[in-house]
Amino acid sequence: MIRKLHRLTGIILAAFIAIHLISHLAALLGPEAHLAALRAVRPIYRSAPVEPLLLAALLGQLALGMMLVRQRRRIGIEPGWGTAQIASGLYVALFITIHATSALYARYVNHLDTNFWWPASTLAHPGLRYFFYPYYFIGVIAVFVHLAAALHYRAASTALVKGLLIAGPVMGLLLLSAFGGWTHKVAIPPAYSNALEANLGLKSNAP
């Protein structure tokens, strides 16, 4: 039952994550193209019935995932795929909690539009980039590894599973190159870098 519910919430979240990551690829063409892509997909996941459903799926996924980890620890975690599934699941859980909370905080407390400049400001910061580059890169890879492990256990084709393991780092690098300004010079609007530093206690919030 726990496993079935975890799969159901996982499918709902996977649909969102697919839309989310694919729309971010538009950032390869620059901030304006990314904003146009966000404007196209936001009506889907920010609509009244969908956003609460996503948040409920997220909370359900985290709680059910923790229950599955506890069950697995009791029967013993298989080395290889078993370990990869649990490690990637724990990282995705941590990542998505911090990332979604920060997005909502930026939106409702900092009153910022969480567009291209929001993640770009973290990758452009001279000190914080050493945290945010691996944080995003591992986040994207962990999603693909977790999906690959689920498909491996459902006896999906080896080619599909291997394809996902390759697609994770490729997608991660493409997104980091876009938001990290490897292809376009990015000048971060001060509102974003100031909010980032104030939120992390690196500077005061006072004007």
Site residues (CB under 6 A) for ligand HEM?
Answer: 17, 20, 24, 38, 42, 45-46, 51, 92, 95-96, 99-100, 103, 114, 118-119, 136, 139-140, 143, 175, 179
Q: How far is the CB of 77 from ligand HEM (least distance, A)?
A: 22
Two tokens at 118? 């929001």
Q: How far is the CB of 7 from ligand HEM (least distance, A)?
A: 16
> Considering beta carbons, is residue 76 or 132 the nearer one to ligand HEM?
132
> Considering beta carbons, is residue 1 or 110 the nearer one to ligand HEM?
110
Q: How far is the CB of 140 from ligand HEM (least distance, A)?
A: 5
Burial bucket for residue 120 (CB in 10 Å: 0-12, 13-18, 19+): buried
> Considering beta carbons, is residue 79 or 140 the nearer one to ligand HEM?
140
> Considering beta carbons, is residue 11 or 76 the nearer one to ligand HEM?
11
**CB-facing half-sphere around the CA of 139: CA atoms within 13 A:** 18
Of 47, 7, 22, the residue nearest 146 (C-alpha): 7
Q: Phi first, then psi: give them for residue 47, nearest 5 degrees.
A: -75, 160
Asked if residues 128 and 196 have their Cβ atoms less than 8 Å apart, the reply is yes
> Considering beta carbons, is residue 128 or 143 the nearer one to ligand HEM?
143
Two tokens at 99? 């990332």
Q: How far is the CB of 115 from ligand HEM (least distance, A)?
A: 6
Distance separating alpha carbons of residues 32 and 67, to the nearest angstrom: 42
Q: How far is the CB of 204 from ligand HEM (least distance, A)?
A: 26
Specify the DSSP class assigned to residue 182: S
